Amino acid sequence: MGYPTRRHHSLLTRLPAILLLGACATSISSATKIPLNKLHSRGNRYQWKRDDDIGNGSETLNTVLLSNVIDQSYTCNITLGGKSVEVQLDTGSSNLVVPGEIPNSKNLSIPLNVTYAGGNGTGYIETAELEFAGYTIENQAFLNAAVSQLSSGTSGIIGVSIGNASSIRYALNSSAGDTVLDSIFRQNSTDSTNNFITLLLGHSPLEYSNSGSSQPFLENQENVFTIGEVVDGYEQIYSSPKLPIALQTPYETLLDANGVIGPDGKAINTTSLYGNSSQNDQLSVLLDSGTGVTLLPKDVVDSIYGRVPGAQRIVNASDLNPELASLPTLWRLPCTYEVNVSFSFAGQQYPLSPLDTSLNLTGYVGIQDSQDQDICIGGIIEIPPNFINPTKLGAFDAILGDSTLRNIYMLHYFGSFVDGSNSSTPEPYIQLLSTYNATAAHLDFVNTRLGGVDSTGSQPSLLSN
């Protein structure tokens, strides 16, 4: 049996967890992605699509509905210089990077290169009127980059972090280079209490619909980004613990001591290299919507998947399929094995859906191995040893990407991080609210991976340590 024949798709498609694409050299940005411009076709079973019905960038005041691109990235439309542009929403970076001609823009004749692990944006800093989330910014600075150099799969990237991590802000060395959020929050200068964002991400029904299940997909929350307000029905987040910002980096905080809970329900021993806690067993984590998967230290990942019967640690993913040659080291899992993992913050556990701890490449785009077998991989991947450069990216032990954020509603109050804030402005913090529903998550796994017949009660026990 040979490798499956695959057909081209007109759009650049990407899956979570394959190629480190983000990792902006001058602002914290990371995205693990698989550029897949082909789809395996078995009849009409596997079809790629966007969630355009709910993610077309339509918005109410301060609220943007996002489009879920195969659980790999979340996009929306902005209006820049009067032109509608699709951009990936990235909490892990600060720059607005848009390729192509933007009407009514002013070229500042300042060259800039923003480097990502999977590509780079090179061009000139320009300014134009920006409309985003109900706000209008008259002269928003952005990088007009060559389209061929961006690998995000969209027309651009909108970084929704703030501060001097922005290479545009650094290049202009004034508030004229403020990030999008800094520009917006400056409009709230008399009331800093609304200087926060929230992010709610849902699952793509693509794998579920491809499974042929006749049961409804229970995971159906929308994909929403808000500024200064909380999504209706999620007000409980105001009562969540306020997590301090670690190492003065937006979206970075600390897990509890040994705060990764493995498939056996027990805490996994963790050791931090960069955390600012006096305890070195608290991992410093970056909450990054620009990363498709979750990246943890190798020993933690091995503790999660190494005990799953039939799991294999794959160093060269091309052994599974040549299309996967650019993948980092990963764990291949039996597609029918339910793996449950949680993270612990401030004494509260945040479980992940088993459809996020195990990602079905076949269910997304139909890619199979040389024996025509489906390929499922761990949604938690070991962070490459050369990936983190503290002098450029900031120091963190792990990145909690979309495979984690789909199970958590996040509020980030920026407080004193905002450019131009005064000394009385409160310190920034993060609040998290679990959106995980154990019954729905389990049933979606059963209907997607097990044909609707719940056999998880008889799945093989975890291997001994």
Q: What pLDDT shows up at residue 276? A: 56
Q: What pLDDT shows up at residue 57? A: 39
**Cβ-based neighbour number of residue 215 at 10 Å:** 13
Identify the CATH class of 17-196: mainly beta
Q: What pLDDT shows up at residue 153? A: 55
Note whether 417 and 163 are within 8 A (CB): yes
Would you say how long the chain is, in residues? 465
In the chain, where the domains are located: 17-196, 206-458
Note whether 173 and 402 are within 8 A (CB): no
Note whether 284 and 272 are within 8 A (CB): yes
DSSP state letter for 443: H
* Average confidence (pLDDT) per 10 residues, the chain, 465 residues: 29 33 36 30 30 40 87 90 93 89 94 72 92 94 76 74 83 91 84 89 83 81 93 95 86 95 97 74 91 92 97 92 84 96 98 95 81 92 71 72 95 87 85 96 94 94 89
Q: What is the SS3 assignment for 185?
A: helix
Which residue shows structure tokens 């980004």? 225
Give the Å distances, CA to CA, from 232 to 167, 221, 289: 35, 12, 21
pTM: 0.87
Token readout for 281 is 């067993």
- Tell me which of 2.40.30.10, 1.10.730.10, 2.40.70.10, 2.30.30.90 is the CATH number of domain 206-458: 2.40.70.10
Say if residue 461 is exposed, middle or buried (CB neighbours under 10 Å; 0-12, 13-18, 19+).
Answer: exposed
206-458: same fold as 17-196? yes
Query: Which bin fits 134, alpha (ψ -120 to 50), beta or left (φ > 0)?
Result: left
Note whether 119 and 19 are within 8 A (CB): no
Query: Which bin fits 346, alpha (ψ -120 to 50), beta or left (φ > 0)?
Result: left
